[in-house]
Structure 1
Amino acid sequence: MCGIAGILDPQGSSEIDRDALARMNQAQHHRGPDEGSVHVEAGVGLAHRRLSIIDVSTGQQPLFNEDGSVVVVFNGEIYNYQSLIPELQALGHVFHTRSDTECIVHAWEAWGVDCVKRFRGMFAFALWDRNQQTLFLARDRLAVKPLYYAWLADGRFVFGSELKALLAHGGLSRDMDPAAVEEYFALGYVAEPRTIFKQARKLSPGHTLVVKRGERAVEPQQYWDVRFTLDSRIGAEDACAELRHRLDESIRLRMISEVPLGAFLSGGVDSSAVVATMAGQTDGKVNTCSVAFDDPAFDEAEFAQLVADKYRTNHHVETVRSDDFDLIDTLARQYDEPFADSSAIPTYRVCQLARKHVTVALSGDGGDETFGGYRRYKLHLFEERFRSAMPLAMRRPIFNTLGRAYPKADWAPRMFRAKTTFQGMARTSVEAYFHSMSILSTPMRDQLFSARFKSELAGYSAEQVFDRHAANASTDDPLALIQYLDLKTYLVGDINTKVDRASMAHSLEVREPLMDHELVEWMATLPSSLKIRGQEGKWLLKKSMEPQLPDSILYRPKMGFAVPLARWFRGPLKQRVRDAILGPRLAETGWFDRKYLEHLIDAHQSGARDYSASLWTLMMFEAFLRNVIDEVPVAAPAPQREAVVQP
């Protein structure tokens, strides 16, 4: 796992600012502490930080083809590289390393922009072809690995694995995008392709970007999308067997490593399935890592221990204090953008623990999206049955009226909150799912934002993110539609971002067998009845794993990876949350209504309402302003230069 960065002068061949390139690379030192190198030629500079995983002795980057005309910097893993090497050798390409990185330069020579369609893995890379005067950027299908880019005011093009690399260049404006702020307060993250900064963009999942010398108007191109056809007629028994086969293959590919390897083990279905499958593929003991919580309401350690005992893993556990909130500023700096998933705290801690014992860890991330595991999926399907019984034109006025008249009952389970149910009946499927995914609902954001900020938004709503993806979903199946939306939004913007930054903060590589694109594609052909059956989510995965895992793991209630925010904000963080949210930094923006901020704090701390998620979202935005926006830009002298690599 690595960090990449670069500078291109697309209009000419002027000299690259080597100090700026060195700063960009140094800003990502945590992503690759083993080595750092740069390559500079007329109008182009590429930089790389390396965390050595495969071909430790000879896989240094930037890496070149035979004649030095093509050079690549790469972050990630191409899991099928061993099968690609003989195919490329048969086409006449000569390999000088045993690394997956070298496959990229030769695949580019063989197949051009379509090379990415041959790769199976998680990747973000930038390739410069001197003969074609072309810079080629690519990001993997599910955006496991990040890639940011920007056109600067002087016409130069810059890119990096993290926004901090672009900020370190010194030419990126810190002007914030109001639409990104709206997305953040709705979703808890800034959705692809937007970033918090007006000038920068994320390369979207399954997209490439070609920048040719002399051209400026370039747009990313999509090379992959998942299609929920739901047209497979496979029976349940055969589907279980096929799923076990595909899990075996996906995990086998991800166990290739020349450094210590292990797995996260939470005690949930996904991570337990990964560990059970790993144990069946090795003669040695699997290294497993878990965090326990000193608050029993959030602790799954006993279930993780059950799996560890069953498979006799080398199990490592550390207890996280229920008042482990000292990471607020650390996380703000690590994520570069406002990021409101509070489970970033235990994720950071489990990565910190894992790095003490391994360099590579397999995770169960993506299992809920792929197999249909979220509780919200069942609630959405419950509401969808009622929505489908009456046309929207009739539903909207009737249930809007009932929703306004009925009192709130936040204390009750969601399906028994009549006000929430009535409001859901008045919405379309996409509107309803967006509402269920919103941290601050549309009415809450309307009260939160000042008149000035609403004017800057010019009518933009974060709901447009969901509308845009829903238009491309090519399915009207209720479950498939929201799975597609999650694969495009929550998985990418929240889960993958959280895990990448938390793991890279500790120079740990995390691999994602349940996000293998061939597995995701196959699952998308299966009917939704194999994913949720009755009240049982992940039905197929659970049935498939019954020979390997006990029912106490497979069929217990889902807990999630949470922290006790509500208690923090009424207890140890009571004054801190008030100082942050009502303090000068948020007020300076002019974007928030102070009376509504006071209402959120007072209502929560009095116990009248649970606004913990909203308060955390505001706290993390305030921390982002202090730690990123207000940070003094990097200035000369630059850090010690990286080793210069020539072809």
Structure 2
Amino acid sequence: MCGIAGIFHIETAKPVDPARVRLMIDAMPHRGPDGVGVWTAPGVGLGHLRLSIIDIGGGAQPMLTEDGSLAVVFNGEIYNFAEVRAELEAKGHVFRTHSDTEVILHGYRQWGEACVERFNGMFAFALFDARAQAIWLVRDRLGVKPLHYASLPDGSVIFASELKGLLAHPLLRRAPDLTAVEDYMAYGYVPDDACLVAGVKKLGAGETLRLVRGRPVLAPTRYWDVSFADRTTKKAEALEEELVALMRQAVRSRMVADVPLGAFLSGGVDSSSVVALMAEASNKAVKTCTIGFDVAALDETAYADRIARRFATDHRTRIVSPDDYALIDTLAHHFDEPFADASALPTYRVCELAREQVTVALSGDGADEAFAGYRRHRFQMQGERIRGLIPASVRQPLFGTLGRFYPKADWAPRGLRAKSTFLELAGSGEEAYAASVGVTPYALRQRLFSAEMRGHIAGHRAEDRYVKAMRDAPARDPLDRAQYADLRIWLPGDILTKTDRMSMAVSLEAREPLLDHRLVEFAARLPVSQRIRGNSGKYLMKKSMEAFLPQDILYRQKMGFVTPISDWFRGPLAGEAAGVAGGSALARTEWFDTKMLAKVAADHKSGLADHGRLLWQLLMLDKSLGRLFGLD
């Protein structure tokens, strides 16, 4: 796990100042405390920060071939590097190190850009080809590792693992992209096809970008995509065996490291499954860690303790207060763009705890997206059944009218919030699902934005990307389409961004075995009944793990990290809530109707409405504006 950055002159091979590359990597020191490297040649500069994991003595970067014709900087891990290396050695390649980085160089020399199809891992890398006078940017299939890039007025393209690496370059103009504000207010994060800083792009999951000197910058190329178009015909017993074998292989491949390794353990299905398979593969106690809360309703430590005892792990628990709002500025610094998933706070704390003993930690991320584990997946299936039974000519006016006149009840349990349910049933399945993954509805955003802001973003609606992804999905079923959109948008934009930034904040490498692309491809071919059955998501995964885990672990209700943000804004953060409407950077942008912001804060404080999540969004946006655009 590392940080990378670089400069490539597209038009002519102008000299690159090494000090500028150094500025870019110095902006992200947390990504690599074990070493720094900068290399320049006419028209190109590469920088690298190293967190040593594999071949500690010999894997320094930037790494060049012996003849100097290829150079690479690499962030991540290639888990099957030993197998790829053996294949290359059989073809006559001679290696000087034992690192996975060198496999990229020799793989490119042997197979060209097709080499990436042979790599199984999480990675973002930049490879310079001196003979072709080109640089090749690559991101892993699911988007575990990030890569940002931008074109500059001097004819260069710059790239970095984090936005702050680009912002360190003095020629990058800092201007906001207002459509990204709309995206953020809809989702609580800025998706991968957008950026709050105008002109900055993020290489998408499963994409590559080849830049050739003297040629225009073209759009990225996608080398991998998950398809839900085919269904397996295997029997249930065979599927269970295959799934366990794939999970076992994914976990074991991610246990290769030359540094201490452990796992996050929440006591839920996903992390418990990973720990079970780690314990099976290890000849010593697996190091596990859990964050607990001093509020009983939020605390899962008893479940994690059961799993730790069952597999005799070296387990540590730390109880923290959910009132961890003091981390706000730390979060804003590490995310760069605004990020309003409040589970980032406990994620930071569990990464911090893990880093005290290990350098690598395995997580359970990805199973909900791949195997349909979210409650919204079940709601989507139920809603589509109703839409299929009632003609649109009846359904739209009926449920649309009910939705308009039914009172809004944010305080009620989800099942009693009929207003949003009626409105979702009135529309298409794609529109309903796009609304369900959002955090601030379109109608509310329109009331929050100023008239001028609405004019600026006219024609752009954040939900449209979800609708389009679902309609264009290689899929057979509405559930397929929902999962496909989650894998393309939600997973890299929210879940993986959170894990990457919070683990890297403490110089910890997080690995996600349940996002092995072979597992994801396997899950996409499953019949719907093997993903959701009755009221249970991830059905086949849970069934497959019955030999490993207790029933009450497998089938208990999913909790996840919870933070009491609504209480904060009626207590210690009440002043921050009121400040968002007046005097803050956000208020000075004139993007929002300040009277509406003041009403949101006042209604929340009085208990008239629950706007905790919205206020958290606004506060995180306010913090980011100061850091990105100097609007403190």
Matches within 5 A, 1:313-332: 313-332=313-332
Give the match for residue 218 of structure 2. 218
What is the alpha-carbon distance in structure 1 between the residues aligned to residue 146 and residue 631 of structure 2?
A: 22
Give the match for residue 389 of structure 1. 389
TM-fit CA distance, 1:194 = 1.5
SS at match of 1:83: helix
What is the alpha-carbon distance in structure 1 between the residues aligned to residue 279 and residue 125 of structure 2?
A: 32
TM-fit CA distance, 1:247 = 0.6
- Whether 1:406 aligns to 2:406 is yes
TM-fit CA distance, 1:329 = 1.2
Amino acid at match of 2:604: H
Give the match for residue 640 of structure 1. none
TM-fit CA distance, 1:394 = 3.6
Give the match for residue 290 of structure 2. 290
- Whether 1:584 aligns to 2:584 is yes
Matches within 5 A, 1:1-400: 1-400=1-400
What is the alpha-carbon distance in structure 1 between the residues aligned to residue 61 and residue 397 of structure 2?
A: 61
Amino acid at match of 2:23: R
Which protein, 1 or 2, shows the higher relative CO under an 8 Å CA cutoff with sep ≥ 6? 1
What is the alpha-carbon distance in structure 1 between the residues aligned to residue 209 and residue 245 of structure 2?
A: 35
Amino acid at match of 1:513: P
What is the alpha-carbon distance in structure 2 between the residues aligned to residue 467 and residue 425 of structure 1?
A: 15
Sequence identity (%): 50
TM-fit CA distance, 1:422 = 1.2
More displaced 10-residue stretch of structure 1: 146-155 or 596-605: 596-605
Give the match for residue 619 of structure 1. 619
SS at match of 1:471: helix
Contact 2:229 2:476 in 1 (8 A): no
What is the alpha-carbon distance in structure 1 between the residues aligned to residue 512 and residue 400 of structure 2?
A: 42
Give the match for residue 478 of structure 1. 478
Contact 1:333 1:628 in 2 (8 A): no
TM-score (norm 2): 0.98
Give the match for residue 439 of structure 2. 439
Amino acid at match of 1:251: V
What is the alpha-carbon distance in structure 2 between the residues aligned to residue 515 and residue 601 of structure 1?
A: 39
What is the alpha-carbon distance in structure 2 between the residues aligned to residue 619 and residue 388 of structure 1?
A: 41
TM-fit CA distance, 1:582 = 3.3
Give the match for residue 542 of structure 1. 542
SS at match of 1:319: strand
What is the alpha-carbon distance in structure 2 between the residues aligned to residue 217 and residue 284 of structure 1?
A: 51
Contact 2:383 2:429 in 1 (8 A): no
What is the alpha-carbon distance in structure 2 between the residues aligned to residue 86 and residue 163 of structure 1?
A: 37
TM-fit CA distance, 1:581 = 4.0
TM-fit CA distance, 1:393 = 4.1
Contact 1:176 1:198 in 2 (8 A): yes
Give the match for residue 421 of structure 1. 421
Amino acid at match of 1:310: R
Contact 1:359 1:508 in 2 (8 A): yes
More displaced 10-residue stretch of structure 1: 300-309 or 382-391: 382-391
What is the alpha-carbon distance in structure 2 between the residues aligned to residue 85 and residue 389 of structure 1?
A: 56
Amino acid at match of 2:312: R
SS at match of 1:47: strand
Give the match for residue 504 of structure 1. 504
Coordinate RMSD, CA, aligned: 1.3
What is the alpha-carbon distance in structure 2 between the residues aligned to residue 179 and residue 92 of structure 1?
A: 51
Contact 2:291 2:301 in 1 (8 A): yes
Amino acid at match of 1:18: P
- Whether 1:606 aligns to 2:615 is no
SS at match of 1:595: helix
What is the alpha-carbon distance in structure 1 between the residues aligned to residue 336 and residue 393 of structure 2?
A: 43
Deviations 1:586-624 (A, max 9, x none): 121010011211221122222222111111100100111
Change (3 A) 1:581 1:230: farther
SS at match of 1:327: helix
Count of aligned pairs: 632
What is the alpha-carbon distance in structure 1 between the residues aligned to residue 467 and residue 173 of structure 2?
A: 29
TM-fit CA distance, 1:391 = 3.4
Contact 1:151 1:158 in 2 (8 A): yes
Deviations 1:430-487 (A, max 9, x none): 1101111111100010101011111111221001211332233122412111111110
What is the alpha-carbon distance in structure 1 between the residues aligned to residue 32 and residue 163 of structure 2?
A: 16
TM-fit CA distance, 1:122 = 0.2
Amino acid at match of 1:206: G
Amino acid at match of 1:553: I
TM-fit CA distance, 1:416 = 3.2
Give the match for residue 628 of structure 1. 628
Contact 1:329 1:627 in 2 (8 A): no
Amino acid at match of 1:84: V
Change (3 A) 1:141 1:588: same
What is the alpha-carbon distance in structure 2 between the residues aligned to residue 151 and residue 608 of structure 1?
A: 48
TM-fit CA distance, 1:626 = 1.9
Change (3 A) 1:291 1:363: same
Contact 2:332 2:338 in 1 (8 A): yes
What is the alpha-carbon distance in structure 2 between the residues aligned to residue 441 and residue 38 of structure 1?
A: 46
Deviations 1:271-302 (A, max 9, x none): 00000110000110000011011111211111
What is the alpha-carbon distance in structure 2 between the residues aligned to residue 170 and residue 560 of structure 1?
A: 41
TM-fit CA distance, 1:131 = 0.5
What is the alpha-carbon distance in structure 2 between the residues aligned to residue 36 and residue 67 of structure 1?
A: 22
TM-score (norm 1): 0.96
SS at match of 2:316: strand
Contact 1:322 1:564 in 2 (8 A): yes
Contact 2:78 2:122 in 1 (8 A): yes
Give the match for residue 560 of structure 2. 560
Amino acid at match of 2:275: V
Give the match for residue 531 of structure 1. 531
Change (3 A) 1:79 1:179: same
SS at match of 1:570: coil
TM-fit CA distance, 1:535 = 0.5
More displaced 10-residue stretch of structure 1: 15-24 or 471-480: 471-480
Contact 1:230 1:528 in 2 (8 A): no
Contact 2:578 2:602 in 1 (8 A): no
TM-fit CA distance, 1:193 = 2.1
Amino acid at match of 2:170: G
TM-fit CA distance, 1:182 = 0.5
SS at match of 1:113: helix
TM-fit CA distance, 1:233 = 1.4
Contact 1:384 1:478 in 2 (8 A): yes
Give the match for residue 641 of structure 1. none
TM-fit CA distance, 1:374 = 0.8
SS at match of 1:241: helix
Amino acid at match of 1:101: T
Change (3 A) 1:215 1:266: same
What is the alpha-carbon distance in structure 2 between the residues aligned to residue 577 and residue 243 of structure 1?
A: 47
Amino acid at match of 2:410: D
Contact 1:581 1:619 in 2 (8 A): no
What is the alpha-carbon distance in structure 1 between the residues aligned to residue 441 and residue 147 of structure 2?
A: 29
TM-fit CA distance, 1:99 = 0.7
What is the alpha-carbon distance in structure 2 between the residues aligned to residue 539 and residue 471 of structure 1?
A: 25
What is the alpha-carbon distance in structure 1 between the residues aligned to residue 217 and residue 49 of structure 2?
A: 30
SS at match of 2:39: strand
Amino acid at match of 2:15: E
